[in-house]
Amino acid sequence: MKTTILVLSLTISLLINTILLPAQWFQQNSGTTQSLTDVIMLDTATAIAVGADGSILRTTDCGSTWIDVGAILSFITRPLKAVDFCDTLNGVIVGELGGIVVTSNGGKNWLPRYIPENRQCLSVLNTYPGHFYVGADSGWVYETADTGKTWTSEKISTEPIRALFEWRGTYILGLPIFALTPYSLFRNQQFPLNTWAETILPFHGQEGSEAFNGEFCNGGGAGFIVGALGDYVNQPAILRKTLSDTTWQIAMTGVAATGKLLGVSAPSANVIYVCGTGGMIYQSTDGGDTWTASLPACSRPTGGLAGTPTTQNLNAIYFYDENHGFAVGDSGVILHTSNGGLSGIDDQENQLPMKFLLRQNYPNPFNQSTTISFSIPTRSFVSLKVFDLSGREVSSLIAEELPAGEHIRQWNAAGFPSGIYFYRLQSGSVAFTKKLVLLK
């Protein structure tokens, strides 16, 4: 009888006392469970994402609803790899087997185009209406000036062209354009197109090290390349080249995580975002000098691996301005923010919480270890315990007096069976309970 009452009490407490943390990134319903590979924004409300199943997802309401305009297009070659627009109307999407689709009305309708030799198209750069470059496997770069009706091509490398991007500041003679391979960066210029000049990246030759994407700051400024520093464990890599630099330099102050960085977006010379495996999103507000996870101060764990509402790999990120952005990834994940990834609360390290708050553990569900964070407004004695489904206490994480502020604890459930558990925070007469799920 006592056990039944305790379980009922825990359940009621869970329902009544659950408090939603104002999230900095909101996960949206994409309508697909397949990998999403790239995303672009045409304005603060309109975006287009492409996916491995041939999806061309379009939203005009900040992602509240996504319409798959590619579902009715029988000529789409799957999977789709990259998307780019030169303005709000004219855009290009590229995919495998030479498949290309173009639009001139903001992505409402699409027409088919094809690259000769049916090469796998990996990247695209749309410089002005009708004119774009396509990067393909085995180092091929294709160029068209008539919306893909005719092409010229050049093999500039033996490696795949993973990203194509341009200088986004003012220029005098020829628009600088760039082609990125896993180990080097090629530079050329448009008007006229000259010889591609190769720069070997700093981590070339290190086993497991590679580059995935690059971009220059909007309005002019530094360039950024993201990837991984390999060897035994992958470490995120951020390379930067400022106007005063002669070579690309590693710029990773504040990035303390394992995994790979796969996407980068630089909406201004000061604000840059990167994303990668395991739900990683990092932000710099000082031109890449330092990086922090896009989390509120009250829940920023070491390394920044928590805070985004997913642990899926994030393959691409795009910000229309410093505040409005999307990130897309595996299993159809789409994340959106309208405040630069902040929580909507004052993001100051020295600000004390105004009330007790128990947050949802992360990740959840989890395998073996999960993070529990909470805040207390005054110094007080606190207990944090874990109960199984029958209401039996299985672990005591905290039973001590703590100072006011934010606190984080890990629960290592290596010795516990899979199932539903509850964790309960109590201080005096104040108590909160939440559910967590252990999956092995």
Taking the domain 2-20+353-438, which CATH number applies?
2.60.40.1930
Residue 316's closest CA among 71, 36, 72? Answer: 36
Rounded CA gap, 11 and 15, in Å? 6
Enumerate residues 6+ apart whose C-beta is below 8 A from 21.
296, 299, 343, 357, 359, 360
For 324-364, the pLDDT digits (tens) are 999 999 999 999 988 887 654 334 333 445 568 888 877 77
pLDDT, one tens digit per residue, over 387-419 is: 998 889 999 999 999 888 778 788 899 889 999
Task: For 80-115, write each residue's pLDDT tens digit.
Answer: 999 999 999 999 999 988 889 999 999 999 999 999
Share of the chain above pLDDT 70, in %: 87
Whose structure tokens read 């630099």?
Answer: 245
pTM: 0.73
* Of 186, 215, 191, the residue nearest 201 (C-alpha): 186
Is 376 within 8 Å of 427 (Cβ atoms)?
yes
Sheet (strand 121-128) strand order: 121-128, 131-136, 140-144, 152-155
Ranges of each domain in the chain: 2-20+353-438, 23-71+201-344
What is the pLDDT confidence band of residue 367, given thresholds at 50, 70 and 90? confident
